[in-house]
Amino acid sequence: MECEPEELQFLGVVGIYRFSAEILRGPHRPLFARIAAAFALPLSALFLLHVAISHALFTHIDSDDTALDASSPGTDTQRRLLSRLASDWLALLLFKSAYLLALLLLSLLSVAASVFSVASVYSAKRDALTFPRVLSVVPRVWRRLAATFLAAFALLFAYHAVAVLVFVGLLVAADNGSGLAGLLAFLVAVAYLLGLVYLGVVWHLASVVSVLEDHKGFAAMRKSKDLIRGKLVTAGAIFFTLNVVFAAVELGFRAWVVRGSGAASSRLLLGLIMLAALCCVVMLALVTQTVVYLVCKSYHHESLDKANISDHLEVYLGDYVPLKASDVQMEQFQVICNCVRTAGSR
C-alpha cells in the first residue's frame, strides 16, 4: 500500500475507513470479493435468517401463551398447550444453540481469511496472495482465534455477572427509598456501555494479534490492551459506528421484511438489499480491524517492517520456518564438535 508504516499513526477515523476502502477497491479486489462470497455473505445470511426464524418462533410462542392464559385449568386443552409450549421453547433453544455455533465458526474463518489477506496486501506479498492459498492458511489460524475467543468470552461473562450484581444492588436500594439509587443506576448504565465498547475493541484487536503475532488467548487480550492505549478514542469510534450501521440494517430488516405488510416480491427484494448491505458492512469491519492494528502498532513505534510481516505470513504458508535460539545454539554446538573431531584426527 502507499501509506508508509510511520505515517499510519496519524490516521484518524476517516483515514482508517479510507485506507480500508482502498484495500477493498485495489488490485486485489477479486480476492476480497471471493472472501466476501465465501465468508461474509454466508455470515450475513445466517444472521438475517436467525432474525426471521427467531421472530417466527417467538410469535408462535406468544400465540400459544395467550391461548394458555384463556384456557381453563386442568383441561385437555391446557395440557396440550403446555406440551406445545415446551416443544416450542425446546425448538427455540436448539435453534439458538445451532445458530451460535455456526456464527462462531463462520466468524473465526472470516477473521482468519481477512486478517491474513490484508496483512499480505500491506506487506506487498503479492505472489502468494491467491484465494486457494488464503484458504490453506485458515485451518492453521482458527485454533489461535478460538483460544482468544474463549478468553474474551470469559472476560465478557465475568463483566456481565458483575454488572448484574451491581444493578440488582441498586434496585434493592431504590426499593428501600434511596433517592440516589436512580442517579447511580444511570451512571452505572453509561459506564457499563462504555466498558462494553472497550471490551469489544480489545477483543477485535486481539483477534488480529492472534494471527499476526505469537500471542493467543489472554496473552493476546493483554497485548491488545497495550496496543489500544492512546488510540482508544479512534478505535472506539470505529467500533461504535460500525455497530450502529449494523444495528440499523438489522432494524430495517425487522421492520420492512420480517414484520412488513407489503407484497412478498417487494419484501424479498428488500431482503436481498439488506443482505447485500450487511455483507458490505461485515467485509468493511473485517478489513478495518486489521488496519486499526497497523495504526496502533505504528503509534507505539513497534516493529511494523513489511519484510517481518511477510516472513510471519510465510510460516502459515509453509514457505518459511524461522530459526529459534535453541536451533542456533545447537548448530553452533555441532560446528564445535566437528572442529574437535577434525583436530583429534590430525
**Please, what is the average pLDDT of the chain?**
83
Residue 162: other Cβ atoms inside 10 A? 12
**DSSP per position, 36-60:** IIIIIHHHHHHHHHHHHHHHHHHHH
Q: How far apart are CA 147 and CA 300, in angstroms?
A: 26
pTM for the full predicted model: 0.82
Q: What are the boundaries of each domain within the chain?
A: 5-345
- Helices then strands (H, E): number in the chain? 12, 0
Q: Which residues of 274-302 are buried (b: 16+ CB within 10 A; e: fewer)?
A: bbebbbbbbbbbbbbbbbbbbbbbbbeee
Q: What band does 323 get if pLDDT is binned at 50, 70 and 90? A: very low
Residue 151: per-residue pLDDT: 94
Give 132's contacts (C-beta < 8 A, 6+ positions apart): none
| pLDDT tens per residue across span 232-286 | 999 999 999 999 999 999 999 999 999 988 788 899 999 999 999 999 999 999 9
The pLDDT score that the predictor gives to residue 312 is 59
Q: Can you tell me the mean pLDDT for 326-343?
A: 40
> 3-state SS string over 283-332?
HHHHHHHHHHHHHHHHHCCCCCCHHHHHHHHHHHHCCCCCCCHHHHHHHH
Q: How many CA atoms lie within 13 A of 100 on its CB side?
A: 7
Three cell numbers at 236?
472506539
For the segment 123-145, the average pLDDT, to the nearest whole number, is 79
Q: DSSP for 250-271, please give it.
A: HHHHIIIIIS--S-HHHHHHHH
> 97 Cβ partners below 8 Å, 6+ apart?
none
Is the pLDDT higher at 127 or at 328? 127
pLDDT(337) > 50: no
8 A C-beta contact, residue 37 and residue 275: no
Q: For 341, which DSSP code?
A: H
